[in-house]
Amino acid sequence: MKAVADTILSVRSKPGETQVPDSAANDTLLTTPLDALHRSLGAKMVPFAGYSMPVQYPLGVLKEHLHTRAAAGLFDVSHMGQADLVGDDIAIALEALVPGDLQALKPGRIRYTQLLNDDGGMIDDLMVAVPVDGATNRLHLVVNAGCKDKDYAALQSALGDRAVLEKKDAHALLALQGPLAASVLARFDADCAEMPFMSLRPVTVNGVDVVVSRCGYTGEDGYEISVSLEDAEALAKTLLDQPEVEPIGLGARDSLRLESGLCLYGHDIDDTTSPIEADLLWSISKRRRAEGGFPGDARILKEINEGTSRVRVGLKPIGRAPAREGTVIETPEGDAVGVVTSGGFGPTVEGPIAMGYVASAQAKPGTRLHLIVRGKALEADVVAMPFVQQRYYRGTK
Amino acid sequence: MTDIRYTKEHEWIRLDGDSATVGITDYAQSQLGDIVFVEVPDEGKAVTKGAEAAVVESVKAASEVYAPVSGTVTQGNAVLGDAPDTVNSDPAGDGWFFKMTLTDASELDGLMDQAAYDAYLKDCDA
């Protein structure tokens, strides 16, 4: 028996990409401040984006996934890149590099957007937030672990002396996700329960000062918590002591985000795909669609008006066999029309699910396609995503 | 005579007279985690020692199962189509993958017996 496809550990390397190879020798791996805690909890550690990370705990990927959808899961995402971008009118300056509407962002609010190259391809996708005090000279960023170095280089090179990048290397990042995450955090600060989706605020949890953002990567309600390296383990233990909370590894993180239709950089999006091809138009506001003014705007505005030749879609195999990343997609007549970019088994869906790019003529939900798995054509339907309804907090009204 | 042999890739093969049953070991299923899909070979398929004979998939990974010896498949375990997690719960029993006849029974001599496999597992975890 030998693994031939591993959803979590494969990172496609492409010419020109500077992602850290996951096969980096163990002795060069970075560790997070929760490394000892992961090992004491019995985690299986794997190399990921240059870090030694927990892929699963003794509960296992399937049960960790289901627990997060039913209660609350704690994830170590300290490998992600946290940084502040500092400079006068920094929202205006950063808008020259991303298509997201940063000028409309209110104090303490977060936006999902993409760092673009001159061709309109994505260097990375990231979260951008305005400080709680509304300062116009500072933005908080969270970028992908494998993209940190190239992102920071791209930002500094494009912004020059208009901005200084302050890396928050002294901070860890934990994610508390699931329908009971709010009641868990409200035990320490009642106001956490009423925080709007995509907002942040400073909070004290059991004596530890942290910054809490109501967002995540599971499709569930939940939070990401930025905490100093020295306080990270104490905070993690405090949260794990809550009866609703189990530790969750990268394996379930991947199946949760796939069921929720969320893109994984380096797989579903990369420096060749535009936000329009990736079905991320919702992240570009009316003003930015009208004005442009971001890298690759000619291509992206043209794609908004005229459509794209390929587009990211959800795929639901009819049978039980999962179709993994790289699987060729054909029409029932045998014409190749695309490729799977993420695929596996959805524990909540209780069956195989995938996403990938197909020719736009084949992108309508209900279109029957074939997935070529081990030489056999398996039937699949194009479906609307997410596969599992997202349950973000939208207020009590 | 009943004799169980093991491969370095963590398949087991149990000889019963002229026929043999093949599966994956408890170590293999524990490494894979929750098994969500199994594809077993059809009756009559010729399999070659060391070549892919079946597929097993967990939530996060797809793996190939190799034929421990060469021969012809006489039966695939149909139970695994609807209940792939049987491989997790009973890898050495109801979670068997396929039955086969052997082209050359002496190929078994190159495989590990229980004592050798137990020693090999200690190296795998080291």
A1 and B62 in contact by Cβ < 8 A? no
Establish whether the linkage from the previous residue to A386 is cis, with ω within 30° of 0. yes
How far apart CA A1 and CA B53 sit, in angstroms, is 10
- List all residues 6 or more positions away from A154 whose beta carbon is below 8 Å from its beta carbon: A97, A115, A117, A123
Q: Residue A63 has what pLDDT?
A: 97
Q: Which of residues 1-40 of B touch A (CB under 8 A)?
A: 9-11, 24, 28, 33-34, 36-37, 39
Q: Which residues of A touch B (CB under 8 A)?
A: 1-8, 55-56, 60-63, 65, 251-252, 254-255, 320-322, 324, 344-345, 347, 352, 374
Q: Does B42 touch chain A (CB under 8 A)?
A: no
Q: Which of A2-6, A229-233, A326-330 has the least mean pLDDT? A: A2-6
Q: What is the pLDDT of residue A81?
A: 98
How many Cα atoms are found within 13 Å in the side-chain-facing hemisphere of A134?
A: 3
- pLDDT given for residue A11 in this prediction: 41
| pLDDT per position as a tens digit, A298-311 | 999 999 999 999 99
Q: Does B64 touch chain A (CB under 8 A)?
A: yes
If one counts every other C-beta atom within 10 angstroms of the C-beta of residue A161, the result is: 7
CB contact under 8 A, A55 and B60: yes
Q: Cβ of A1 and B66 within 8 Å? A: yes
* Angle subtended by helix axes A61-70 and A250-259, to nearest 10: 60
Q: What would the two tokens of residue A61 be?
A: 């990927």
Contact A385, A355 (CB under 8 A): yes
Domain limits for position B119: 2-125
- Compute the distance between CA of residue A216 and CA of residue A318 in angstroms, rounded to an integer: 30
Comparing A2 with A289, the larger pLDDT belongs to: A289
- How much is the pLDDT for A133? 97
The tally of domains found in chain B comes to 1
Residue with tokens 């080291």: B126
Smallest Cβ–Cβ distance between A345 and the set B36, B63, B64 belongs to: B36
Residues A24-81 pLDDT 10s: 455 689 999 999 999 999 999 999 999 999 999 999 999 999 999 999 999 999 999 9
Q: Which domains does chain A have, with CATH numbers?
A: 26-75+171-259 (3.30.1360.120), 82-167 (3.30.70.1400), 309-383 (2.40.30.110)
Residue-level pLDDT at A366? 98
- Complex ipTM: 0.89
CATH number at residue B48: 2.40.50.100
B51 to chain A, any CB pair closer than 8 A? The answer is no
Of A119, A123, A120, A139, the residue nearest A131 (C-alpha)? A139
- A383 contacts A314 by C-beta, under 8 angstroms: yes
Residue by residue, pLDDT tens for chain B (126 residues) are 468 999 999 999 999 888 999 999 999 999 899 999 999 999 999 999 999 999 999 997 899 999 999 999 999 999 999 999 999 999 999 999 999 999 999 999 999 999 999 999 998 876
CB A296 within 8 A of CB A116: yes
- Does the pLDDT value for residue A12 go beyond 50? no
Q: What is the mean pLDDT of residues A206-210?
A: 96
> What's the angle, vertex CA A83, arms to CA A81 and CA A85, rounded to 5?
140
- Distance of alpha carbon A189 from alpha carbon A28, whole angstroms: 39
Among B6, B52, B59, pick the best mutation site for testing chain A contact (most A Cβ within 10 A): B59
Q: Does B113 touch chain A (CB under 8 A)?
A: no
